[in-house]
Structure 1
Amino acid sequence: MTDDPDFAAAKDSFISHLFELRNRIMKASAGILIVFGILMLMPGPGAIYDFLAQPMIAALPPGSKLIATGVITPFLVPMKITLLAAFMVALPWVLYQAWAFVAPGLYAHEKRLVAPLVISTSVLFLFGVAFCYFLVFGQVFKFIYTFAPQSISFAPDIENYLDFVMTMCLAFGLTFEVPVVVIVLVRMGLVSVEKLKSIRPYVIVGAFVIAAIVTPPDVMSQLFLAIPLCLLFELGLLVAPLFVRMTQKPEETA
């Protein structure tokens, strides 16, 4: 079997693809590390964490600060935040490497399908994170702090705050991917736009259930997640037919 030329060609092709994948991963990682090094120098991990903590600080009484209960927590937490920020800044470069790896094996109509999805996925995710930081955090933290008894000193731990922020940003970032999910389902023929419209009431209920599970147990944060989820679902229903027409095969168009 090893003398079979087809087998040898397939083996060489597989190995070449592995080398290409390794090179793309290394280039993507190098891009993240370069951005990480730049952020370490300017503005620095402390400034990045201060920016992330600003919504919470603004909701606390004047002069209040977050606390660190671990010995190395003041070092590790800002480093994690800086690495996460470096990944988000380098996300276009990472997605380009992924696109460069798969592009040679795609047909023209498939490239018209993948490229908009890759771009829209990254843009919508960043919009979701920005929406969470600039709008949701300020309202949610103020709402939560109003229920704190006057007899306690409210001083959140920086590591717990980081976990909360990452969970919320991830939830909102994924929520803003709903239009992409709808478009992919319709384009692959797994479900029609009419079928999705018919299950709209179930989608609305599901949005509020997901918001109740993912967000803190307060009405404000649940509404901030559930309402955009419903609106983005409707956006996906509007864009999906147009996207299908733009990415059809030549024979499908004929």
Structure 2
Amino acid sequence: MSSTEELDSKGQSIFEHLAELRIRLVYSAYILIVATGICYGFSEHIFNFIRAPIQPYLPGGGLIYTGPLDKFLAHIKIAFVCGIIISCPLWLYQVWKFVAPGLYQREKKYTFGFIISGTLLFLLGAAFSYWVVLPMAFHFLMNFGGNIDKPMISIDQYLGFFTQMCLMFGVSFELPLIISILGMMGIVSQKFLKEKRRYAIMGLAVASAIITPPDLMSMLMMLVPMIALYEIGVFVVGIFERGRAAEARVNERE
């Protein structure tokens, strides 16, 4: 094949990947729109659930809003975030369909495991944020500097903080899945991950400091699980490498 033909073939391959990415993004958008519409019907109940972690620290038990559209927009945001969460298996399937062409045929059989593990990890991260990190963060932030000053927190401010924490923790808990996919695609190896462990931990520490509230306990509550999840990812990559090596030896004998 000439260099021109190789370039054309490569260009066509890139075009196909971009077309596939567009299709998966469109499908994911449709999924989120439908899920958001469903969640909007339950937005008031969801709002009560979301408000619970900070409610004990609010003088009147509720958040404030200063604009006529603030509360309506808050319910839209709540519905959207919940739509992301409940539709997690569906858009994770779209992610898998995009990366699957770069995997071996044997590894493509893990579709169900990818979706289940990805969903559980995302929900685990969001739940960890809601029931562990946020109560500790609010206890520190709302009691800092004494009890003379009283909080008047707007709906928009609280939802921005709450959404950032839950989604960031949900995405962060996908770390072993991301590492496993990179290992399956041959981008990283178990040896590489072990050699770069100290740099990975440093990066995770910086990310934890940026994402979490400005107190040491919240940072550690994110950093420790992230380090454990990184080690799980390293272990899983090793399993895939050993399986691939065993399959290669069998093929050589045949």
Whether TM-score is above 0.5 comes out as yes
Assess if the C-alpha contact under 8 Å between 2:28 and 2:91 holds in 1: yes
The residue that corresponds to 1:177 in the other structure is: 174
The residue that corresponds to 1:126 in the other structure is: 123
The residue that corresponds to 2:43 in the other structure is: 45
The residue that corresponds to 1:140 in the other structure is: 137
Query: Aligned partner of 2:142: which letter?
Result: Y
CA distance in 2, matches of 1:96, 1:182: 17
Stretch deviating more after TM superposition (102-111 or 161-170): 102-111
The residue that corresponds to 2:224 in the other structure is: 227
Assess if the C-alpha contact under 8 Å between 2:63 and 2:154 holds in 1: yes
CA distance in 1, matches of 2:229, 2:61: 37
Structure 2 segments unaligned to the other structure (5+ residues): 1-7
Stretch deviating more after TM superposition (169-178 or 153-162): 169-178
Structure 1 segments unaligned to the other structure (5+ residues): 1-6
The residue that corresponds to 1:56 in the other structure is: 54
Query: Aligned partner of 1:220: which letter?
Result: M
Assess if the C-alpha contact under 8 Å between 1:39 and 1:86 holds in 2: yes
What is the CA distance between 1:131 and its match in structure 2? 1.0
Matches within 5 A, 1:3-82: 29-41=29-41, 44-58=42-56, 60=57, 63-82=60-79
Query: Aligned partner of 2:50: which letter?
Result: L
Distance of aligned partners of 1:152 and 1:240 in 2 relative to their CA distance in 1, 3 Å threshold? same
Query: Aligned partner of 2:140: which letter?
Result: F
The residue that corresponds to 2:160 in the other structure is: 163
The residue that corresponds to 2:4 in the other structure is: none
Stretch deviating more after TM superposition (66-75 or 28-37): 28-37
What is the CA distance between 1:18 and its match in structure 2? 6.2
Q: 1:186 aligns with which of 161, 183, 187?
A: 183
Q: Residue 55 of structure 1: SS of its match in structure 2?
A: coil
Q: TM-score, normalised by structure 2?
A: 0.77
Stretch deviating more after TM superposition (117-126 or 25-34): 25-34
Is the aligned partner of 1:211 residue 2:208? Answer: yes
Identity %: 35
What is the CA distance between 1:224 and its match in structure 2? 1.1
Q: Residue 160 of structure 2: SS of its match in structure 1?
A: helix
What is the CA distance between 1:242 and its match in structure 2? 1.6
Distance of aligned partners of 1:94 and 1:252 in 2 relative to their CA distance in 1, 3 Å threshold? farther
Distance of aligned partners of 1:54 and 1:200 in 2 relative to their CA distance in 1, 3 Å threshold? same
CA distance in 2, matches of 1:97, 1:190: 21
What is the CA distance between 1:161 and its match in structure 2? 0.8
What is the CA distance between 1:108 and its match in structure 2? 2.9
Tell me how many residue pairs correspond in the alignment: 239
Query: Aligned partner of 1:50: which letter?
Result: N
Q: TM-score, normalised by structure 1?
A: 0.77
Q: 1:197 aligns with which of 190, 194, 199?
A: 194
Is the aligned partner of 1:241 residue 2:232? Answer: no
Query: Aligned partner of 1:48: which letter?
Result: I
Q: Residue 108 of structure 1: SS of its match in structure 2?
A: coil
The residue that corresponds to 1:4 in the other structure is: none
What is the CA distance between 1:52 and its match in structure 2? 0.8
Q: Residue 52 of structure 2: SS of its match in structure 1?
A: helix
Q: Deviations over 1:149-191 (max 9, x none)?
A: 3332112111011111121122212221221232233333333
Q: Deviations over 1:29-50 (max 9, x none)?
A: 5554444444333xx3222112
Q: Deviations over 1:202-253 (max 9, x none)?
A: 3333322221122221112111111111111111122222233456795465
Distance of aligned partners of 1:142 and 1:88 in 2 relative to their CA distance in 1, 3 Å threshold? same
Q: Residue 92 of structure 1: SS of its match in structure 2?
A: helix
